[in-house]
Amino acid sequence: MKAGILLVGDELTGGRVLDINSSYIAERLDLSGWGVSAIITVGDDGEAVKGGLEYLLDRSEGVIVAGGLGPTADDITTAAVAAAFNLSLHMDDEVLRKLKGRFETYHIPWTENNSKQAVFPAGAIVLENRAGTAAGFCIERGGKLVAVIPGVPGEARRMAAEEVLPCFEKFFGKADEKKMRKQVRLFGLSESKIDETIALMGPFPDVSVGFYARFPEIHLLLTARGKNESEAAARLEEAVKKIHEKLGRYIYGYDDETIEGIVASLLIERGYTLAVAESCTGGLITDRLTNIPGSSGFLERGAVVYSNLSKVELLGVPPEIIKAHGAVSRETAELMARGVREMAKTDIGLATTGIAGPSGGSEEKPVGTVYFALSDSSKTYCRKSHFRWDRRRVKEISSQFALEMLRRYLIEGRVFDE
């Protein structure tokens, strides 16, 4: 079974807006066992909608049309779809009543052009829009289905998943194949090293593995096929287990998990408190950690110590150490981590100091040189790295490296293989 996606909007063909609907809808179709025949984007033009629709119907059992359902004159999708099938338009009083109620609830003045959003082709089944005002609809022609939904991303995604796919499934029956997908998130190994390791494990039965570089991480996308969801799920689990056996140390999480979320959970679970001293990362580490609700339970403070004076005052690093070894040095990094821990009276101190660039490098310490340190009551760990990226990317990979150091420490009780 094939499905096509038709996107409607001048803002898309004019390149003024990035389409983020079709990849989501395509993935949902793919996971439900539908092949995607094609994705077509056309402007707000009746003839173009008709042309795209015919092209897709020639190659698909179902078509999802997104966009052009608003109240203004350039919203032509409903009329264009009706014209393509020679269907008359009629007002749905029930939808109109609900629409007016919605405007009242949100204290938006009703203007007559909004009635347009209650007009549908004859014979259409109305698809409810739980996230916005414009309802969608689905029509059947010659054994094929055309579903029309709004183009607003939140609404389009939700309606595709909650209204259109069930409607397709009801009409065509469930696909004879289901897919399940899991993302495996790694940090600290190169893509080629991961590729090599996975290749040596041989292909997994009915599970494909895709590689996606999401700086500074590598994500593996595992897609398992099966006669039904439980068969696909079992195959997926088996593959994940095998990959975890080989690469587990570098896997910080799955699907939507973030390294800051994982670190926060571990800190809360173990009841540890944390203080952070950041030079080159400039606050990015605490920014990431404080995105997690409940971070005030473990984060005592962060110090963004851009000047030497602040390293002395906020962390107690002796000025003579900075003078002797430099602000970017193993000695300073270690004293930063220890100092922030002692001043904040926390269990753990984490520190970064480096040269993010573009200037400030020297022959001995080139741009991209960063020292990381982690201190607890018994020991201070330190490691030097060198990153060949631009300023923002040096900050990003450095914050990731520091969080990974903390994750390893929380899981293994030590930081590196030393």
Q: Which of residues 247-306 bind its own copies (CB under 8 A)?
A: 276, 278, 281-287, 289-291, 293, 295-296, 299-306
- The reply to whether 357 sits near its own copies by the rule CB under 8 A is yes
Q: Is residue 48 a contact point for its own copies (CB under 8 A)? A: yes
By CB under 8 A, the count of residues binding its own copies is 75
CB of 41 to its own copies, least distance (A): 4
Closer to its own copies at the Cβ: 109 or 413? 109
For the CB of residue 412, give the shortest distance to its own copies in the complex, in Å: 27
Question: Applying CB under 8 A, which part among 21-29, 194-202, 264-272, 379-387 lies near its own copies?
Answer: 21-29
Measured CA distances, 303 to 5, 315, 340, 370 (Å) = 50, 8, 8, 17
Phi and psi angles of residue 402, each rounded to the nearest 5 degrees, phi first:
-65, -40
Q: Does 391 bind its own copies (CB under 8 A)?
A: yes
Strand runs labelled E in 122-189: 125-127, 136-141, 144-149, 178-186
Between the alpha carbon of residue 230 and those of residues 95, 174, 209, 223, the distances in Å are 39, 14, 19, 13
Nearer to its own copies, 148 or 152 (CB): 152
Shortest reach from residue 273's CB to its own copies, in Å: 9
> CB within 8 A of 71, min separation 6: which ones?
111, 113, 114, 116, 117
Tokens linked to 356: 């993010």
Query: Cβ(404)–Cβ(398) under 8 Å?
Result: no
In terms of phi and psi (left: phi > 0; alpha: psi -120 to 50; beta: otherwise), the region of 365 is beta
Q: Does 78 engage in binding with its own copies (CB under 8 A)? A: no
Q: What is the closest distance, in whole angstroms, from the C-beta atom of residue 286 to its own copies in the complex?
A: 4
Cβ neighbours of residue 299 under 8 Å, at least 6 residues apart? 273, 274, 275, 276, 286, 289, 290
Taking the C-alpha atoms of residue 87 and residue 188, their distance in angstroms, rounded to an integer, is 58
- Site residues for its own copies, 200-229, by CB under 8 A, read 210, 212, 221
User: Which of residues 146 and 303 has its CB atom nearest to its own copies in the complex?
Assistant: 303
Per the CB < 8 A criterion, the answer to whether 398 and 280 are in contact is yes
Give the shortest CB-268-to-its own copies separation in angstroms: 14
Per rule CB under 8 A, is residue 356 in the interface with its own copies?
A: yes
In the list 1, 38, 161, 266, the residue contacting its own copies (rule: CB under 8 A) is 38
406/303 Cα distance (integer angstroms): 17
Tokens, residue 317: 């690093």
Closest approach of its own copies to the CB of residue 278, in Å: 7
189 part of the interface to its own copies, by CB under 8 A: no
**Closest CB 89 distance from its own copies, rounded Å:** 25
Task: For residue 177, give the nearest of 60, 31, 62, 37 by alpha carbon.
Answer: 31
Question: Tokens representing 90?
Answer: 């009629």
Q: Which amino acid is at 415?
A: V
Q: Which of residues 132-161 bind its own copies (CB under 8 A)?
A: none
Q: Which is nearer to its own copies, 59 or 98 (CB)?
A: 59
Under the criterion CB under 8 A, does residue 18 sit at the interface with its own copies? yes
Stretch that binds its own copies, among 44-52, 95-103, 116-124, 198-206 (CB under 8 A): 44-52
**Smaller CB separation from its own copies, 9 or 136:** 9
Torsions phi, psi of 84, nearest 5? -60, -30
Question: Which C-beta is closer to its own copies: that of 21 or that of 375?
Answer: 21
